[in-house]
Amino acid sequence: MRLLILHQATVFGGAERTTLNLLSHLNRSIVTHITLAAPAALRAFMPEVYDDFVDTAPLIRHGWFGSRESFKPDIEAGTMLIDEVRPDIALGMMHYSGAVIALGARRAHHRPRTAASFRGPISEYIRRYERGFGRLLFLRLVIGLAARAADRILVPSQGTADDTCRHFLGPRARTLVIPNGIDGVEVQVASREPVVGLEHLPPDLPMLCVAARLSREKDVDLLIEAFRRLQPTHPCTLAVVGDGPERSILEQRIRDWDLGDRVAFVGHRENVFPYMRKADIYVHTCQFEGFGYTMLEAMACGTPVLATDCPSGPREVLGAGRFGVLVAPSDAGALSSGIAGLLADPGRRERLSTLGMERAEDLSLARMAEGYQNAFLDMLRRRHPRSAGKA
């Protein structure tokens, strides 16, 4: 099987972790040739286990839907890419790449089976950050067209499947949920590397940790506010792992509150696991989430997880609260109360640590890779690829 993966991104996050894991764990006796097509900036994050690399920066100019005028040449570039690579399966990671692949394949001379891997409830992003009737209509139309054009829609959570089918009329019969996976043994080894950047934090205080891109939708400012509220009654420290456009704002807020001796912004780290393992609680705050890879990573480190119950990943990853603590989203009071309750109950933290590691073992990387592989094989076997399983 010849596989083309298109991933239009220049930063590393949960979706990029999925691509990395697929590259590393697909069975190469089945997937015999892999072409990775991505901007050169993403190549540095990926293991060189593919057979060919195509730098899409000069070909596909965008990573998100701009306008009909800007999207059309990207579809044409996707068509040329497919005709050049001639894959059996073409996979587009995230909504934009999925749309380029699904719609580009319709125009190609070579007609592969296509899979669009939508990574989150995109209607939540559109609702919060997109404006204007024409703009909203365009997004609904183009994502809906892509969802119906793809032979499969592969998603990490049932919430993402529901979002795609409800808001963009994606066919449920062709939508397949494949949860993200993790290699617990690999994480345990990596988590034992030294941590740097936390030297100024008081070692006698319990530590919270968050690892996220510092952008609005990750809602780290909610955690910062909850952290401030905790200090009088439950003093603790905070490690913020990640970078992004909101970093300077968050750092200024910490300075304004004179909490610099209790917070460490350590920036982007290739290996986040030592920070997660060192923490007493891993805190996940997002306005919306397709899955929430960092929660799974923290659980694999043996760190109890507390998350805001946003649409839609945390509830599924944490088993509706069985494997971690869920609190109301966008509520700093609820978040600080939830953290305080865990800080005051070491026995509960220990139980969640054990349950979380069991959950990480269940959501294995081998299981995820096999899910994608089986989906690809099923697509190739069927004469009529549009009849598929349930979502």
Report helix, strand or coil for 53.
strand
* Interval 194-253: pLDDT, tens: 999 999 999 999 999 999 999 999 999 999 999 999 999 999 999 999 999 999 999 999
Beta-carbon neighbour count of residue 205 at 10 Å? Answer: 16
Q: Is the pTM of this model over 0.85?
A: yes
For the segment(s) 184-362, the CATH number from 2.40.30.170, 3.40.50.300, 3.20.20.70, 3.40.50.2000 is 3.40.50.2000
Q: Is the pLDDT of residue 386 over 50?
A: no
pLDDT at 13: 86
> Mean pLDDT across the stretch 264-269?
96
Residues 245/217, Cβ–Cβ less than 8 Å: no
DSSP string over 231-262: TTTS--EEEEE---TTHHHHHHHHHHTT-GGG
Residue extents of the structural domains in the chain: 2-181+365-381, 184-362
pLDDT at 382: 80
pLDDT at 385: 43
Beta-carbon neighbour count of residue 269 at 10 Å? Answer: 16
Strands 52-55 and 89-93 turn out to be unpaired
Q: Is the pLDDT of residue 344 over 80?
A: yes
Report helix, strand or coil for 286.
coil
Q: What percent of the chain has pLDDT over 70?
A: 98
| Rounded Cα–Cα distance for residues 369 and 191 (Å) | 23
Q: Is the pLDDT of residue 387 over 80?
A: no
| Same fold yes or no, 2-181+365-381 and 184-362 | yes
CA torsion 14→20→26→29, rounded to 10°?
Answer: 170
Confidence of residue 305 (pLDDT cuts 50, 70, 90): very high
**CATH 3.10.450.50 given to domain 2-181+365-381:** no
| Rounded Cα–Cα distance for residues 385 and 35 (Å) | 22
Q: Which two tokens stand for residue 268?
A: 């982007």
Length of the chain: 391
Q: Is the pLDDT of residue 171 over 50?
A: yes
Q: Is the pLDDT of residue 389 over 80?
A: no
Residues 282/314, Cβ–Cβ less than 8 Å: no
Q: Is the pLDDT of residue 138 over 80?
A: yes
pLDDT at 391: 52
> Mean pLDDT across the stretch 40-63?
95
| Rounded Cα–Cα distance for residues 64 and 11 (Å) | 14
Q: Is the pLDDT of residue 390 over 70?
A: no
Q: Which two tokens stand for residue 133?
A: 């009737």
